[in-house]
Structure 1
C-alpha cells in the first residue's frame, strides 16, 4: 500500500497494529543522489572508519524519497508468513526557521524515471519528517510560547493572504451574521494552528475548536461561554501540529519502540541516511555513529552479507548467479535452492503489489529482502540441526544470529561493519609497493592498465615515483609478484612501512646513525 499525506493519518493505526504483530520488518529506501567522484569511490584500501569519514560531510545533502516497510507476521497454525507491505513517500518541509534542503543528481533522476518513480507524490504528497534535533528545537519553541509569533512572521505571501482572508470572514460573520457557529476550511496543519491562535487574539470573545470528524475545519462559536463547548486546549493544538510535522518520523519511533528486527539488503548507506534524516547530523566519531544506530535499532540483519557468507557453502552449480537483491529473490522464489526442497514456509502478500511492480521501488524491495531472509534463515536453521523441516521465525533469527548487526561493506579493506563493538580485522592481502624505474613521475593510470588482467585491484600514488596497490585476493597478489619479478619497468614488492614509508626510513636511518655513533664511541674508548 502506498502511504502519502492524503492517507497517512487514516492508515496510522493499521500500520501500528501490523508492526506490533510482526516478527520482523523488511526495509528498503530510495535516495535523491548517489555520492560520486573520485573521493567517494569504493576502494580496497578503505577501512570502514575511513569510508565513513569520507562521506559524513556530504551525505547530509541526500534524502530518502521513499521508504519501504514490509511487516512479516507468522501464522503458526498454517506455518505461513503473511507480508503486509507499505511504500511511504517522503518529502522535505519548511517550518519556521527549519528549511530542509537536498540535492537531486541528474543521473539519479534518470535512474528513477527508468523505474517509474512518481515525482508528483514526492513533491505534492510526500510525508514530512523531523530528525531528533529538529524535533527538540520545535518543542522548545512551543514550550516557550514563541513558536506562534515566529511562525506568523515567516509566512509566505500566499499563506499570509489566506490568513487575512480567514480573519476577514470571521469579522464579517460577527458583524452581520446571525448563526451561532461558523466553519473555516484550512487544509494546511501549520496554517490551521496559526488560524486558531490568530482568531483568539483578534476576537477574544469567540471560542475555536476542531470540527468533529473533519480535521481540516476550524469550528468557531460566537460566544466563548456557550454551554457544552470549550476552546481546544493549546496543548492539543500543539500536539496536532507536532504530529503533522513529525510525519514519517512517527513510524521510525514505532520501529525503535517495538524493536522488531530490521531486515535490509546492502544497508550501509541506508543506515547512514537513517541517522541524518531521523536522528541528526552525523557525529564526528565513527564509534558514536554506530552507537546511535544501535540504540535506535538494536537488531539489524543485512541479507547482502548473509548471502555472501552462506553462498560459500554451495557449489558453483548450486549458487545464485549474483547476490544482488533481484537475483537472490528470484533464486529463492523460483525454487532454485536445492537445500530448501522440504519443510519450506509459505510466504504470501496480504495485498498483491501492482502487476507493473519493478525492482527499486522501496515497498517491493523491502518485501524481497524479508523473503530472502526467511529462506536464508530456514536454510541456516536446518543446517544447524542436520534436518530439513518446518522452522519458525524465532529459530530462523537464532540461526542467523552470527550475522546480526553486521552491515555489508562493498569493496573495502574490511568485510563488514559491526554495529556493536569493534569492526573485524582487514581481510584483504597486504598491500604492494610499486616503483617506476624509467619515469621521474609514476603514471598511475599506466600501472593500472598493466595490472588490469591480474584481477581486481586499486592503486593510489605514494610519492613521485611510487604507488601502492591493494588487491582483492592473495591469488592476484601472487600473480603480480611472479610476473613482475624481473620487470625492467616497475619494481613491485610487498609493502613495508619500515622500508617504504618516509617515517620508516627516517626511523631506520636514525637507528643506524645512533648505532654507528655508539660503535665509534666504543672503538674510540677502546683505542684510548
Structure 2
C-alpha cells in the first residue's frame, strides 16, 4: 500500500493493531545518495566504518520507507502479509521554529531511482513530514511557553501568540510613511465595531511591521471586546483577523488555538510515529545489509546519531531491541556453504531451490500483491517483502536440523538468537558483522600491509612488488596508497625482511599503520605519503640479487577511478583490476624486489594477461541507489593471480577467499 500525506492519518490508525499482531517486521529504505567525501575501506575497524557513514552518508535523505508486516496464521499454515510503501519528506511548518532541512542528492542515485520508475512527485509534493522526538518536544515547549505568556498579558486587544513575542512588547512609534496605512486600518476596525451583523473582519495582507503597528494601535483604541489574530492565506500571505469576543470567548479561543498548534506539531511529527510504533512492539525487525537503513531511520526519525560507536549500539538497542540482518544470516553457517552469493536478488533465487522450502505468503485484503515473478526491485515495500520472505525461508531451514525435524521455526525461537543484533559491515573483508549486543571481533591482520606509492602506479605495479609472495588482494585507499593483503598468511613474516626500501614507496605492517594513525593529531597528522618521514624501521634492508624491474612511469593510473570501468567512482576504485598488457621494463633500472632474481616479463606472454574483472549483478538495500553498481559485487577490491611468481615448489594459488574462521 502506497502511503503519502493524503492517506497517512487513515493508515496510521490501523497500524497499532497490525504491528502488535506481527510475527516479525521487515523494512527497507531508498535514499537520495550513499556516500559523500569519505569512502569505506575493506580494512576499516568497526569504529571507522561507523564514523565514515555517520559523517559521509547522513546528509542524504531516506525518501521511501518500505515495511512488510508478517503474521503467521497457524490454522492456515501461512504468513499473512501487510506491505506498506511510505513516501517521506521533511515538509515546512507555519511555525518559524520548525527546522528547515537541507540535504544532499547524488546524481547517480537519483538517476538510478528514476530508471526504476521512482515517483519523485510523491516524495516532494505528497511526502509525509516528520520530526525527531527532540524537535517535537522543543516545538511543543516553545508553543506552551508562548501561550502562557499571552495569557498573562492578555487584554481585549492583545496581539495573538502567532505575532508578538516577549521581546517585542514595547510600542513602536508610527513612521510618517505608515500613518496613512494605520489610519485606514483603524477606520475599518471602527466601522466593524459599529456593525452588529459582522463578527469577523479580515484585514488586507501586510508586512510584519505593519501588523505590529496595527496590533498596538487597535489595542489603544479598543481596550476590550476585540481579539486580533495573525493568519496565513493559501499562498502564505499573512493578514490579521479581527474577531468580536468577550473575555470568556477569548479564553476559549486561546485554548483552541493552543491545541491547534500542538496538533500541527503532531502532524509534522508524521512518519516518526511509525518508527515509535515499531519500537514499542518489541517485534523482531528484519532488513538486508541494514547498516545504512538503521542509521538513516535513527538520524531522521529518532535523534541525532552519537559520535561514539558504543553509544550508537545503545541507541539501536533502545529503538530496535531485536534486529536480524539477512545478509549476515546468509553468510553464516549453516547457510554459508549453500548460499554462494548473499545479495538480496541472488539470495531470493537460491532460496527457491533445494534444500530450502519457501513458506506460503498471502497478502492481506486491500493490499497490493507482490510476487517474485513481477520484479519491482528498488521499491522499498517490495524489497522489504523479499527480505522478509528470505528470512522466513532460512528460519524454516534451521528446523531441519532438529530431531525430529520441524517444518516451521518461529522468529522468537532460540535457533534464531545467534543472529540477533548482528549488522553486516559491507565490504569489510575479514569482519563478518558489527555486534550490537557486545564487543566486536578483532580479526588478525598481520598479513595486511599499508603501502604508499606514486600516483602513477597501478594494480599490477603493486602486484609486481609483492610477486615473490604469490597472490595479493589490493584495496585502494586513494591514488597513492592501498592495503595489500597476502593470500598466503604464512608469508607475512617475510615481507618486511624481503621487500627492500626504495624512494618510490613506503611499506608498513597493518599494526604499524594503525599505531601511527592512532598517534596522529589534527596539528600533526599522520604522514603516509612521504617515505622519508617513516624512519629506517619502515622498510627492512636485505641483501639480494638485483631485479631488472622498475616502476613503469608511462602507465598512469586514472585520476578519476570511473575511467577504469566507466562506473561509479567508489565502486570502480574498489574493483579496478589492471587488465592491460604490461610494457617491457628497463633492465638497467634500480632494484625494488630483492628476494631473488626475476626474469623480465614478456609483454606478449599469455601469462602476463590478467583475467578480466567480472561484475556479478546483485542487489542489496544499502546500495539501492548506486548507478551501475549493484550492492554485492564479486569483490570490492583487486584480486590477482601472478603465475610463476610464487616461491619454488608453490603451485598457482586460487583467488582470494574469505577465511572460514575469523
* TM-score normalised by length of structure 2: 0.58
Q: Say if 1:357 and 1:47 are closer, same or farther in 2 by CA, change over 3 A.
A: same
The 2-side partners of 1:441 and 1:320 are apart by 39
The 2-side partners of 1:375 and 1:260 are apart by 18
Q: Say if 1:134 and 1:498 are closer, same or farther in 2 by CA, change over 3 A.
A: closer
Structure 2 equivalent of residue 382 of structure 1: 400
Q: Note if 1:93 corresponds to 2:91.
A: yes
Structure 1 equivalent of residue 134 of structure 2: 133
Q: Offset at 1:60?
A: 2.9
> Among residues 274, 295, 298, which one is paired with 2:297 in the alignment?
274
Structure 2 equivalent of residue 56 of structure 1: 54
> Among residues 341, 359, 362, which one is paired with 1:348 in the alignment?
362
Counterpart of 2:311 in 1: which secondary structure?
helix
**Native 8 Å contact 1:460 1:469 kept in 2:** no
What is the number of residues matched between the two proteins? 447
> Among residues 389, 392, 417, which one is paired with 2:434 in the alignment?
417
Structure 2 equivalent of residue 243 of structure 1: 266
Q: Output aligned runs, 1:172-211, within 5 Å.
A: none
Cα distance per residue 1:449-492 (max 9 Å; x no partner): 5479935432559xx9x975246xxx454589999997789999
The 1-side partners of 2:161 and 2:226 are apart by 24
Q: Note if 1:112 corresponds to 2:129.
A: no
Q: Output aligned runs, 1:295-374, within 5 Å.
A: 295-310=318-333, 312=335, 314=337, 319-332=338-351, 335-340=352-357, 345-350=359-364, 351-353=367-369, 358-374=376-392
The 2-side partners of 1:225 and 1:153 are apart by 19
> Among residues 273, 280, 287, which one is paired with 1:264 in the alignment?
287
Q: Say if 1:321 and 1:152 are closer, same or farther in 2 by CA, change over 3 A.
A: farther
> Among residues 394, 400, 417, which one is paired with 1:401 in the alignment?
417
The 1-side partners of 2:462 and 2:282 are apart by 47
Q: Offset at 1:282?
A: 1.9
Q: Say if 1:225 and 1:134 are closer, same or farther in 2 by CA, change over 3 A.
A: closer
CA RMSD of aligned residues (A): 4.7
Which blocks of at least 5 consecutive residues in structure 1 are unaligned?
155-166, 183-200, 209-219, 509-528
Structure 1 equivalent of residue 484 of structure 2: 469
Structure 1 equivalent of residue 123 of structure 2: 122
Structure 2 equivalent of residue 187 of structure 1: none
**Native 8 Å contact 1:432 1:492 kept in 2:** no
Question: Which structure is richer in relative contact order (CA contacts within 8 A, separation 6 or more)?
Answer: 1
Q: Say if 1:486 and 1:392 are closer, same or farther in 2 by CA, change over 3 A.
A: closer
Q: Which structure has greater helix proportion?
A: 1
Counterpart of 1:289 in 2: which secondary structure?
helix
Counterpart of 1:301 in 2: which secondary structure?
strand
Q: Output aligned runs, 1:18-37, within 5 Å.
A: 18-37=18-37
The 1-side partners of 2:107 and 2:455 are apart by 36
Counterpart of 2:47 in 1: which secondary structure?
helix
**Native 8 Å contact 1:444 1:467 kept in 2:** no
The 1-side partners of 2:194 and 2:62 are apart by 50
**Native 8 Å contact 2:6 2:126 kept in 1:** yes
Counterpart of 1:243 in 2: which secondary structure?
helix
Counterpart of 1:144 in 2: which secondary structure?
helix
> Among residues 41, 45, 49, which one is paired with 1:47 in the alignment?
45
Cα distance per residue 1:118-160 (max 9 Å; x no partner): 0100000000011122122212212212699786589xxxxxx
**Native 8 Å contact 1:205 1:224 kept in 2:** yes
**Native 8 Å contact 1:74 1:393 kept in 2:** no
**Native 8 Å contact 1:448 1:459 kept in 2:** no
Q: Offset at 1:94?
A: 2.5
**Native 8 Å contact 1:74 1:80 kept in 2:** yes
Cα distance per residue 1:482-520 (max 9 Å; x no partner): 9999778999999375799789x9999xxxxxxxxxxxx
The 1-side partners of 2:292 and 2:483 are apart by 27
The 2-side partners of 1:280 and 1:495 are apart by 39
> Among residues 55, 73, 76, which one is paired with 1:75 in the alignment?
73
Q: Offset at 1:53?
A: 1.9
* TM-score normalised by length of structure 1: 0.71
The 2-side partners of 1:100 and 1:415 are apart by 35
Structure 2 equivalent of residue 288 of structure 1: 311
Q: Say if 1:354 and 1:284 are closer, same or farther in 2 by CA, change over 3 A.
A: closer
